[in-house]
Amino acid sequence: MNTIWIYLAKASLSLVLFYLVFWIFLRKETLFITNRYYLLISMVISLILPMVTISYTVELSGDEIIKDTGSFLHIPGLSQESRVGLPTGLLVPGIIYFTGVIIFLLRIAIQFIVLYSIIVRNGIKEVDGTRIVYNSRFIMPFSFMNLVFINPVTVRDSEISDIIAHEKVHIHENHWFDLMIVELMSIILWFNPFIWFFERSIKQNHEYLADEGVIAQGYNVGRYHSVLINQLMGMEVIGITNNLNYSLNAKRLKMMKRTKTPKARALHIIWALPVTFLLLAAFASPKYVNNEDASQVASLSSATTVNLTVAVLDKNGDPVTGANVKVKGTSTGTITDENGIFSLEVSETDVVIVSMKGFEDVVIDMKTVAAKQANTGKYSLKVKMKALGETVSAYTVVKSKDDMIKELEITLKNLEVKKAELNKVKEKIMQAEKEGTVEQAELDKKKAALKADMTAVSSKIDAVTKKLQSLKN
Question: Is residue 289, in this structure, part of any structural domain at all?
Answer: no
The half-sphere exposure of 59 on its side-chain side, counting CA atoms within 13 A, is 8
Q: Which DSSP state fits 56?
A: E
Question: What does the pLDDT read at residue 237?
Answer: 52
CA 334 to chain centre: 26
The answer on 361 and 228 residing in a single domain is no
Determine the pLDDT at residue 280.
86
- Do residues 142 and 172 share a domain? yes
Q: Where are the beta strands (DSSP E) in 214-330?
A: 242-243, 285-290, 305-313, 324-327
| β-pair type (130-134, 147-150) | parallel
Judge whether 293 lies within some domain: no
Establish if 295 belongs to a structural domain. no
183: in domain? yes
Residue 232 confidence (pLDDT)? 56
pLDDT reported for residue 29:
82
Question: Are 395 and 407 members of one domain?
Answer: no
Phi, psi of 437 (to 5 degrees): -85, -15
* Residue in 233, 181, 206 with CA at minimum distance from that of residue 46: 181
pLDDT along the chain (473 residues), means of 10: 81 93 87 90 92 73 44 38 45 88 93 92 89 88 89 80 86 91 92 92 87 79 66 58 62 65 78 88 72 51 73 85 88 86 86 87 84 69 74 49 77 88 88 82 86 89 85 72
Name the pTM for this structure.
Answer: 0.53
Amino acid identity of residue 206, one-letter, is H
Rounded CA-CA distance 253/219 in Å is 15
Residues 126 and 222 occupy one common structural domain = yes
> Which of these three, 252, 282, 312, is where a domain ends?
282
Q: At which of 375, 399, 423 does a domain end?
A: 399
Instruction: Give yes or no: residues 260 and 311 share one domain.
Output: no
Mark whether 391 and 413 lie in a shared domain. Answer: no
Of 115, 109, 110, nearest to 149 by C-alpha is 115
* pLDDT for res 269: 84
Same domain? For 364 and 449 the reply is no
**Can you give the CATH number for the domain in which 309 is found?**
2.60.40.1120
**Residues 26 and 172 placed together within one structural domain of the fold:** yes
Examine residue 207 and state whether it is found in any structural domain, yes or no.
yes
Both 8 and 97 in one domain: the answer is yes
Beta pairing, strands 242-243 & 142-144: antiparallel
Other beta carbons within 10 angstroms of residue 360's beta carbon come to 16
Shared domain for 368 and 269, answered yes or no, is no
CB-neighbour burial class of residue 206 (10 A; exposed 0-12, middle 13-18, buried 19+): buried
Q: What range does the domain containing 257 cover?
A: 2-282
Total structural domains within the chain:
3
Q: If we measure between CA atoms, which residue out of 206, 282, 168 comes closest to residue 39?
A: 206
- Residue that terminates a domain, selected from 399, 424, 447: 399
| Cα gap 362→347, rounded to integer Å | 18
The DSSP output letter for 26 is I
